[in-house]
């Protein structure tokens, strides 16, 4: 029997601060064992449990795309004990990893369809994985139009700024970046995500929407999607809950009879409608 | 074994009096045993009983809390408040069975380098008599091993 | 196969057992308080006590269990898993309710996708010697929960106390391995019929009237019911019912470390503790006792049946006996009848401000 | 009869909207037990009862209903807890209506259970007798032989600082010496005391029933739950368990009314009141303070006297 609680060793290859408030840091991990690397297959939307031994373990969505071979990226918000330790970790240090866990985005369902990606704040991590996956040349024709609406409170709080610039230059993706409050150097859009969505008004025809962000954004964006006539079963979101084991045993992340770690974290609104509002 | 054993003692010294007193002992070259490790705190009233318990749990052999003399507190009444906590905590720990003398208290002013040295001498002597701390001490990492398999939890210590 | 074991031979039997196995059995810790514990000397074993406070699940799923140890060596960590079980084990004297609970725990820990090795290894290495329950208490409702005081399912061997001796039934292959045990002798028909009589009497005593059947469907519509506004009121949010429940299996994983050495440990956790679902951001999806009580009961009677086809309650009655405020799970179950729910709802509506 | 008076008062308070909620005792589901009852409807006050099994300290529920105006049935000890909580500014003025009941001392259900062979299926209280009935036995026990030790030593059975007293005052006549347990333990050697503490706490399952049953344990984050700093681990290491019990008790210094709710709540029957009793005794001796008696004197550890004893300080 394989021990699902036993982490594999990873090396911290690179770490970089993402945002001006220093609260978000991306760490890039490489496999220390070749066999672990070969056995590791994931799809966008899945997550891993990262261990800093002595501090504990916490779940993080994988921010890199499966197409970016060789290493994994995680963007970490400094909040508690483990995340603080991950913020202070040095390049070259060893961390533990368990995963990939969870279901991930329904990539096969998206094939042949348009996708609309709506992200807010630091919830953009697994969305970045999804976008990067489909922007990969061999995957690009799997889906039709890719529309991305990404918002943050301030320009400094946007993730993956360099990458956003590159995406902006491409013509096979429509990227709308918005901030709640601009600054003197900001010449992009200013406005809340739900309003920008209304403005952009992508067609819901043959389109799947993937939305990820703070609860307040989701709350106000959802009615706009309804207005654009997205049916519930074509809206997907990724949920967060306190997790420990990541494999549906320890109990705490359930919503009704489903476990966010094992049956999620990605759920369609259709599914969520039928579940208790226990999140 | 006991010949070589030297107690480790943690001293919480208030910034304004006892720490300065210890400093004075140092600059005046008044000798005292090297068994104490000092943690400087703003005031003896700042001592949370959790600090003392945590030190004992981590295997410290004795704790000394030292602050300003009554009436000298930099914060007017911090040492008075601390005194009440100390009195009740000391009695309570002894009642539980922690040996008398493991946790000690003193007033040492910034001018009392000699007294500081004396206090440390006395505390070290007392604790040497008591021997290494056993009660409440957490054994390094063999703890909590499959609770149901621990043969006799009492004999752990 | 029906054998017997004289009680005067019990000690010697246990001694031989302990040569081959790690033995776990009820041990009295204080007047009226006992737990299942690893036995060092046969004298510790106390089969005369009531069902121990702490259920036998602890043999497979200890309250606090090291998962692996680690030590820092240069830049790398040396990690050693503690999943292995060194010796075969025997649980002696587990009651049918606790044994029934093992099969529910199997559903969770040995499920399809992920297998919990810590639980699984111990489970596999264990022979279960069940003990019949001749005097079910008034709080016992195993017969309502698909079990019974003499339920043999799950036991490898099964003991029935006849006073001077135990009737020993060998039920499985693991049990048959004891066939040639020198302390077991053939039971005569008189003894067998005596045991039968005790069984019949006991079976009538365990409460079979608690309406558990169909509760998963009944409770389907209860999520947002004001029922919970009332249900949680008296619950003080301690962990007694969940820790002493033979089917509750939630746990927390933490690291314990001193400088460069440490271990990852899992400890029992309870859905009734606020911290259980509290997220780092401060957001708690189950912010009050209302949601937490609901989680406890719905997990047992709705979510678990949805996932595994049966309720996660074996009717041992521990949560009723030991609750500091007399929260009675039987009453909660009875209140799930549509008529009762309506009554509660009306009452809540009437007094809601 | 007290029970009638409680119901009457509860009906009145709910009818004239003095309170939104009445917290009292109701019929338990087991013999020798009652259960906390929450009444909002004046028509339902008949669910309230009063007998010698009303062992819970209902004050612990006040934190749960902090937004409501609450009428609460209190014994002497419960009332003292509430006074202590008021000193800590837990309630708004006039938020509470205390229905004090002079206490006849509560009966230790476990002790009764152990006095008979077999399970008690029915119990009934009549004057000074408790009639218990089970499979094959039926006997009457003297109530006075089965009281909780904390009740035997109680000096404040008449609730004070209450809005109304229901029933006649009782004579404050402890059956045993105050602080009897603390005094007994003080006579032992440190080894004996430590061994006792170690043995008792070794049974702890860390369910925190002692904490939750206590009205004074209302910290938003208990030190046990703090992850940063992490004071103790949550496993079963004896040292961690001892640490927990020391701090849980010590945090009650000058705040404990000695009601014994912690000990009653413990499913593993760990002796806990001998700890708080010592703290109460010390607070009385050192600072001449008793919890919940004076509504205006601050708790002893939040204040000081210049003349406080300091012979223990070098």
pLDDT by residue (tens digit) across D133-180? 998 899 999 999 999 999 999 999 999 999 999 999 999 988 999 999
Residues of B in contact with C58 (CB under 8 A): 147-148
Report the distance separating Cα C168 and Cα A25, nearest Å.
64
Report the distance separating Cα C65 and Cα C117, nearest Å.
12
**So what's the pLDDT on residue A22?**
92
Asked whether D73 and D127 are in contact (CB, 8 A), the reply is: no
C90 forms beta bridges with: C23, C127
Q: How far is A81 from chain D (nearest CA, A)?
A: 7
Whether A245 sits inside 8 A of C68 (CB atoms) is no
Whole domain around residue B110: which residue ranges?
A: 9-156
Report the distance separating Cα C287 and Cα C278, nearest Å.
8
Residue C332 forms contact with D (CB below 8 Å) = no
DSSP 3-state assignment of D24?
Answer: strand
Residue D310 forms contact with A (CB below 8 Å) = no
**So what's the pLDDT on residue A88?**
94
H or E stretch including C119? helix C117-124
Which percentage of chain B shows pLDDT scores above 70?
87
**CA–CA–CA angle A147, A152, A153 (5° rounding):** 150
Residues of B in contact with D288 (CB under 8 A): none
Q: Give start and end residues of each alpha helix (H) in A90-245.
A: 107-110, 125-135, 137-140, 161-169, 193-200, 215-227
Please name the residues in contact with C272: beta carbons below 8 A apart, sequence gap of 6 or more. C235, C237, C238, C239, C241, C242, C289, C292, C293, C296
Given a cut of 70, is residue A124 above it in pLDDT?
yes
Asked whether A114 and A134 are in contact (CB, 8 A), the reply is: no
Task: Give the count of beta carbons closer than 10 Å to the beta carbon of residue C76.
Answer: 13
DSSP 3-state assignment of A16?
Answer: strand
Query: Do the two chains C and B touch, given a threshold of 8 Å on CB pairs and at least 3 pairs?
Result: yes
Domain boundaries, chain A: 8-100, 107-238
Report the distance separating Cα C324 and Cα A96, nearest Å.
42
The mean per-residue pLDDT over the stretch B45-64 comes to 95
- CA A142 to mean position of chain CA atoms: 20
Confidence band (pLDDT; 50, 70, 90) for D1? confident
**So what's the pLDDT on residue B3?**
63
Asked whether D248 and B141 are in contact (CB, 8 A), the reply is: no
Q: What phi and psi, each to the nearest 5 degrees, are found at residue C351?
A: -105, 5
Task: Read off the tokens for D61.
Answer: 């529920």
The mean per-residue pLDDT over the stretch C284-300 comes to 92
Whether B141 sits inside 8 A of C64 (CB atoms) is no
Domain containing residue B110: CATH number: 3.40.50
| D residues 198-237 lying closer than 8 A (beta carbon) to B | 198-199, 202, 223, 231-233, 235-237
Report the distance separating Cα A31 and Cα A38, nearest Å.
9
pLDDT digits (tens, 9 = 90+) for A214-259: 888 988 999 999 999 999 999 999 998 899 999 999 999 999 999 9
| D residues 53-82 lying closer than 8 A (beta carbon) to C | 56, 60-61, 64
Residues of C in contact with B140 (CB under 8 A): 258, 261
Mean pLDDT, chain C, as a whole number?
Answer: 91
Laid out side by side, the sheet with C2-6 consists of C33-38, C22-30, C89-94, C126-131, C157-161, C165-170, C2-6, C184-186
Residue D229 forms contact with A (CB below 8 Å) = no
User: Which chains neighbour D (Cβ–Cβ under 8 Å, 3 or more pairs)?
Assistant: A, B, C
For chain D, the first-to-last Cα distance in angstroms comes to: 59
DSSP 3-state assignment of B111?
Answer: coil
Interface test with D, best of B52, B64, B136 (most D CBs within 10 A): B136
- What does DSSP say about strands A94-101 and A8-17: parallel, antiparallel, or unpaired? antiparallel
Q: How far is D229 from chain A (nearest CA, A)?
A: 9
Residues of D in contact with C267 (CB under 8 A): 234-236
B67 forms beta bridges with: B107
Task: Read off the tokens for B91.
Answer: 């009695």
Residue D312 within a domain:
no
Sign of the CA dihedral C105, C108, C111, C114?
negative
Q: Buried (b) or exposed (e) across D22-58, using 16+ Cβ within 10 A? A: bbbbbebbbbbbbbbbbbbebebbebbbbbbbbbbbb
C20 upstream amide cis, omega within 30 of 0 = no
Whole domain around residue D40: which residue ranges?
A: 2-108+147-302
Report the distance separating Cα A95 and Cα C72, nearest Å.
12
Residue B1 within a domain:
no
Asked whether C53 and D268 are in contact (CB, 8 A), the reply is: yes
Residues of C in contact with D205 (CB under 8 A): 54, 63, 239, 243-244
Laid out side by side, the sheet with A266-268 consists of A189-190, A174-179, A146-152, A114-120, A207-212, A235-238, A266-268
Given a cut of 90, is residue A200 above it in pLDDT?
no
Chain A nearest-CA residue for C288: A278
Confidence band (pLDDT; 50, 70, 90) for A150? very high
Task: Give the count of beta carbons closer than 10 Å to the beta carbon of residue A257.
Answer: 18
Query: Do the two chains A and D touch, given a threshold of 8 Å on CB pairs and at least 3 pairs?
Result: yes
Sign of the CA dihedral A192, A195, A199, A201?
positive
Architecture in CATH for domain A8-100: Beta Barrel (2.40)
**So what's the pLDDT on residue B80?**
95
Q: How far is C60 from chain B (nearest CA, A)?
A: 9
Report the distance separating Cα C43 and Cα C27, nearest Å.
9
Residue A80 forms contact with D (CB below 8 Å) = yes
Confidence band (pLDDT; 50, 70, 90) for C353? very low
Say which of B140, B143, B148 has its CB closest to residue C37. Answer: B148
Report the distance separating Cα C121 and Cα C119, nearest Å.
6
Whether C238 sits inside 8 A of D265 (CB atoms) is yes
What are the Cα distances from residue C258, in Å, to A53, C25, C33?
11, 34, 34
**So what's the pLDDT on residue B140?**
57
Whether C299 sits inside 8 A of A254 (CB atoms) is yes
Whether B92 sits inside 8 A of D233 (CB atoms) is no
Q: Give start and end residues of each alpha helix (H) in C7-63.
A: 10-20
**So what's the pLDDT on residue B157?**
27
- What does DSSP say about strands C126-131 and C89-94: parallel, antiparallel, or unpaired? parallel
Residue C1 forms contact with D (CB below 8 Å) = no
> What would you report as the CA-atom Rg of chain C, rounded to the nearest whole angstrom?
22
Given a cut of 50, is residue B144 above it in pLDDT?
no
The mean per-residue pLDDT over the stretch C175-180 comes to 91
Residue B72 forms contact with D (CB below 8 Å) = no
Report the distance separating Cα D258 and Cα D279, nearest Å.
10
Q: Number of residue pairs across A and C with CB atoms under 8 Å?
A: 128
Please name the residues in contact with A69: beta carbons below 8 A apart, sequence gap of 6 or more. none
Sign of the CA dihedral C222, C224, C227, C230?
positive
Q: How many domains does chain D have?
A: 1
Whether A279 sits inside 8 A of C264 (CB atoms) is no
**So what's the pLDDT on residue A110?**
93
What are the Cα distances from residue C240, in Å, to C49, C306, D57, D111?
20, 25, 18, 20
**So what's the pLDDT on residue D113?**
93
What are the Cα distances from residue D107, in Å, to B55, C236, D148?
41, 22, 6
Task: Give the count of beta carbons closer than 10 Å to the beta carbon of residue D169.
Answer: 11
Interface test with B, best of D202, D310, D311 (most B CBs within 10 A): D310
Residue D227 forms contact with A (CB below 8 Å) = yes
Given a cut of 90, is residue C96 above it in pLDDT?
yes
Residues of A in contact with C306 (CB under 8 A): 256-257
What are the Cα distances from residue A130, in Å, to A106, A215, A221, C208, D215?
10, 20, 20, 54, 51
User: Which chains neighbour B (Cβ–Cβ under 8 Å, 3 or more pairs)?
Assistant: C, D
Chain A nearest-CA residue for D227: A81
Chain D nearest-CA residue for A55: D227
Asked whether B106 and D313 are in contact (CB, 8 A), the reply is: yes
Residue C233 forms contact with D (CB below 8 Å) = yes
Report the distance separating Cα A156 and Cα C34, nearest Å.
60
Asked whether A19 and A79 are in contact (CB, 8 A), the reply is: no
pTM of the model: 0.94
Whether B144 sits inside 8 A of C256 (CB atoms) is yes
Task: Read off the tokens for B122.
Answer: 């006395």
Q: How far is A80 from chain D (nearest CA, A)?
A: 8
Which percentage of chain D shows pLDDT scores above 70?
100
pLDDT digits (tens, 9 = 90+) for D241-268: 999 999 999 999 999 999 999 999 999 9
Confidence band (pLDDT; 50, 70, 90) for C352? low
pLDDT digits (tens, 9 = 90+) for C250-274: 999 999 987 788 999 999 999 999 9
Asked whether B90 and D312 are in contact (CB, 8 A), the reply is: yes
Residue B155 forms contact with C (CB below 8 Å) = no
Say which of C38, C82, C256 has its CB closest to residue B148. Answer: C38
Residues of B in contact with C69 (CB under 8 A): 141
Interface test with D, best of B50, B54, B71, B117 (most D CBs within 10 A): B50
Q: How far is A76 from chain D (nearest CA, A)?
A: 18
User: Which chains neighbour A (Cβ–Cβ under 8 Å, 3 or more pairs)?
Assistant: C, D
Report the distance separating Cα D258 and Cα D281, nearest Å.
10
Q: How many domains does chain B have?
A: 1
Chain C nearest-CA residue for D233: C256
Report the distance separating Cα D72 and Cα D90, nearest Å.
15
CATH of the structural domain A107-238, one choice from 1.10.357.10, 3.40.50.1360, 3.90.70.10, 3.40.50.80: 3.40.50.80
Q: How far is D226 from chain A (nearest CA, A)?
A: 11
Say which of C33, C239, C256 has its CB closest to residue D268. Answer: C33
A248, with CB counted inside 10 A (0-12, 13-18, 19+), is buried
CA atoms within 13 A on the CB side of C25: 25
Chain C nearest-CA residue for A246: C114
- Nearest Cα neighbor of C246 from C346, C344, C154 is C154
Domain boundaries, chain C: 2-205, 215-351
Given a cut of 70, is residue B1 above it in pLDDT?
no
- What does DSSP say about strands A235-238 and A266-268: parallel, antiparallel, or unpaired? antiparallel
Residue C258 forms contact with B (CB below 8 Å) = yes
**So what's the pLDDT on residue D274?**
95
The mean per-residue pLDDT over the stretch D298-305 comes to 94
Whether C66 sits inside 8 A of B144 (CB atoms) is yes
Angle between helices B78-96 and D190-201 (to 10 degrees): 80
The mean per-residue pLDDT over the stretch B84-89 comes to 96
Laid out side by side, the sheet with B36-41 consists of B36-41, B9-14, B62-67, B103-107
Confidence band (pLDDT; 50, 70, 90) for D110? very high
| C residues 75-104 lying closer than 8 A (beta carbon) to A | 75-77, 79, 81, 83
Residues of D in contact with C206 (CB under 8 A): none
Asked whether D262 and D200 are in contact (CB, 8 A), the reply is: no
Asked whether B37 and B63 are in contact (CB, 8 A), the reply is: no
Residue D113 within a domain:
no
């Amino acid at each position: 029997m394989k021990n699902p609680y036993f982490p594999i060793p990873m090396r911290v290859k690179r770490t970089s601060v993402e945002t001006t408030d220093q609260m978000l840091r991306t760490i890039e991990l490489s496999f220390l064992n070749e066999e672990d690397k070969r056995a590791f297959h994931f799809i966008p939307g899945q997550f891993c449990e990262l261990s800093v031994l002595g501090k504990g373990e916490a779940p993080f969505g994988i921010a890199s795309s499966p197409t970016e071979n060789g290493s994994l990226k995680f963007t970490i918000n400094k909040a508690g004990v483990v995340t603080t330790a991950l913020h202070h970790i040095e390049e070259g240090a060893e961390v533990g990893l368990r995963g990939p866990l969870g279901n991930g985005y329904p990539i096969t369902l998206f094939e042949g369809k348009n996708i609309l990606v709506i992200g807010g704040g630091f919830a953009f991590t697994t969305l970045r994985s999804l976008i990067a996956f489909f922007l990969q040349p061999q995957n690009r024709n799997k889906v039709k139009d890719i529309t991305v609406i990404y918002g943050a409170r301030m320009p400094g709080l946007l993730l993956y700024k360099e990458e956003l610039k590159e995406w902006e230059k491409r013509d096979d993706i429509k990227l709308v970046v918005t901030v709640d409050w601009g600054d003197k150097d900001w010449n992009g859009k200013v406005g809340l995500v739900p309003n920008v969505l209304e403005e952009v008004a992508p067609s819901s025809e043959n389109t799947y929407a993937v939305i990820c962000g703070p609860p307040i954004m989701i709350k106000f964006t959802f009615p706009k999607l309804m207005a654009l006539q997205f049916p519930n079963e074509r809206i997907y979101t990724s949920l967060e809950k306190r997790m420990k084991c990541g494999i549906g045993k320890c109990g705490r992340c359930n919503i009704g009879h489903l476990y966010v770690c094992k049956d999620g974290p990605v759920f369609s609104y259709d599914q969520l409608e039928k579940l208790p509002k226990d999140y | 074994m006991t010949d070589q054993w030297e107690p480790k003692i943690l001293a919480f010294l208030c910034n304004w009096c006892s720490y300065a007193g210890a400093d004075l002992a140092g600059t005046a070259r008044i000798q005292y045993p090297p068994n104490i490790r000092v943690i400087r705190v703003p005031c003896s009233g700042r001592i949370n009983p959790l600090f003392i318990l945590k030190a004992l749990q981590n295997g410290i052999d004795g704790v000394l809390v030292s602050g300003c003399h009554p009436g000298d507190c930099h914060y007017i009444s911090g040492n008075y408040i601390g005194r009440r906590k100390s009195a009740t905590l000391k009695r309570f720990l002894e009642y539980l069975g922690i040996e008398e003398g493991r946790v000690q208290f003193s007033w040492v002013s910034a001018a009392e380098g000699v007294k500081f040295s004396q206090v440390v001498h006395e505390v070290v002597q007392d604790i040497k008599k008591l021997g290494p701390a056993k009660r409440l001490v957490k054994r390094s990492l063999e703890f909590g091993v499959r609770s149901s398999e621990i043969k006799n939890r009492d004999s752990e210590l | 196969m029906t054998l017997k074991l004289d009680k005067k031979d019990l000690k010697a039997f246990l001694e031989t057992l302990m040569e081959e196995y790690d033995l776990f059995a009820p041990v009295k810790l204080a007047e009226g308080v006992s737990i299942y514990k690893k036995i060092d000397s046969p004298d510790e074993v106390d089969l005369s006590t009531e069902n121990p406070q702490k259920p036998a699940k602890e043999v497979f799923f200890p309250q606090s269990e090291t998962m692996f140890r680690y030590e820092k060596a240069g830049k790398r960590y040396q990690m050693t898993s503690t999943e292995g079980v060194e010796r075969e084990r025997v649980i002696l004297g587990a009651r049918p309710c606790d044994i029934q609970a093992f099969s529910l725990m199997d559903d969770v820990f040995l499920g399809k996708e992920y297998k919990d090795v810590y639980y699984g290894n111990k489970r596999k290495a264990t022979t279960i010697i069940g003990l019949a329950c001749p005097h079910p208490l008034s709080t016992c409702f195993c017969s309502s929960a698909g079990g019974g005081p003499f339920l043999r399912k799950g036991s490898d061997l099964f003991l029935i106390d006849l006073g001077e001796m135990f009737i020993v039934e060998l039920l499985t292959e693991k049990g048959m391995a004891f066939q040639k045990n020198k302390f077991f002798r053939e039971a005569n028909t008189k003894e067998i019929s005596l045991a039968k009589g005790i069984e019949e009497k006991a079976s009538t005593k365990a409460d079979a009237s608690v309406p558990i059947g169909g509760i998963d469907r009944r409770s389907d519509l209860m999520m947002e019911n004001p029922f919970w506004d009332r249900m949680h009121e008296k619950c003080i949010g301690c962990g007694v019912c969940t820790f002493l429940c033979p089917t509750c299996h939630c746990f927390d994983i933490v690291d314990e470390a001193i400088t460069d050495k440490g271990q990852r440990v899992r400890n029992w956790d309870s859905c009734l503790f606020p911290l259980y679902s509290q997220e780092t951001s401060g957001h708690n999806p189950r912010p009050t006792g209302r949601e937490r009580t609901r989680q406890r009961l719905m997990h047992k009677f709705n979510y678990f049946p949805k996932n595994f086809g049966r309720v996660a309650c074996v009717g041992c009655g521990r949560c009723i006996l030991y609750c500091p405020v007399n929260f009675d799970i039987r009453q909660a179950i009875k209140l799930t009848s549509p008529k009762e729910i309506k009554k509660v709802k009306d009452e809540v509506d009437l007094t809601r401000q | 009869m007290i029970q009638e008076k409680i119901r009457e008062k509860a009906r009145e308070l709910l009818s004239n909207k003095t309170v939104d909620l009445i917290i009292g005792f109701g019929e338990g589901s087991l013999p020798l037990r009652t259960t906390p009852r929450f009444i909002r409807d004046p028509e339902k006050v008949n669910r309230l009862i009063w007998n010698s099994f009303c062992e819970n300290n209902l004050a612990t529920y006040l934190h749960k209903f902090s937004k409501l105006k609450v009428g609460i049935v209190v014994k002497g000890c419960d009332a003292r807890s509430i006074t202590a909580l008021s000193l800590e500014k837990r309630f708004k003025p006039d938020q509470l209506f205390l229905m004090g009941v002079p206490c006849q001392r509560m009966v230790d259900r476990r002790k009764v259970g152990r006095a008979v062979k077999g399970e008690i299926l029915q119990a009934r209280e009549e004057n000074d007798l408790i009639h218990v009935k089970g499979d094959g036995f039926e006997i009457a026990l003297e109530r006075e032989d089965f009281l909780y030790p904390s009740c035997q030593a109680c000096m404040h059975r008449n609730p004070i600082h209450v809005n109304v007293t229901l029933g006649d005052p009782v004579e404050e006549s402890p059956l045993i010496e105050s602080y009897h347990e603390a005094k007994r333990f003080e006579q032992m050697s440190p080894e004996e005391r430590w061994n006792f503490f170690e043995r008792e706490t070794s049974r702890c399952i860390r369910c925190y029933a002692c904490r939750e049953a206590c009205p004074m344990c209302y910290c938003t984050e208990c030190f046990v739950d703090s992850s940063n700093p992490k004071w103790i681990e949550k496993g079963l290491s004896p040292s961690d368990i001892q640490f927990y019990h020391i701090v849980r008790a010590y945090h009650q210094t000058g705040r404990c009314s000695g009601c014994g709710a912690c000990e009653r709540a413990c499913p593993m029957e760990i002796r806990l009141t001998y700890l708080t009793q010592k703290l109460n005794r010390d607070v009385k001796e050192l600072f001449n303070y008793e919890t919940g008696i004076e509504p205006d004197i601050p708790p002893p550890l939040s204040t000081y006297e210049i003349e406080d004893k300091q012979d223990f300080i070098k």
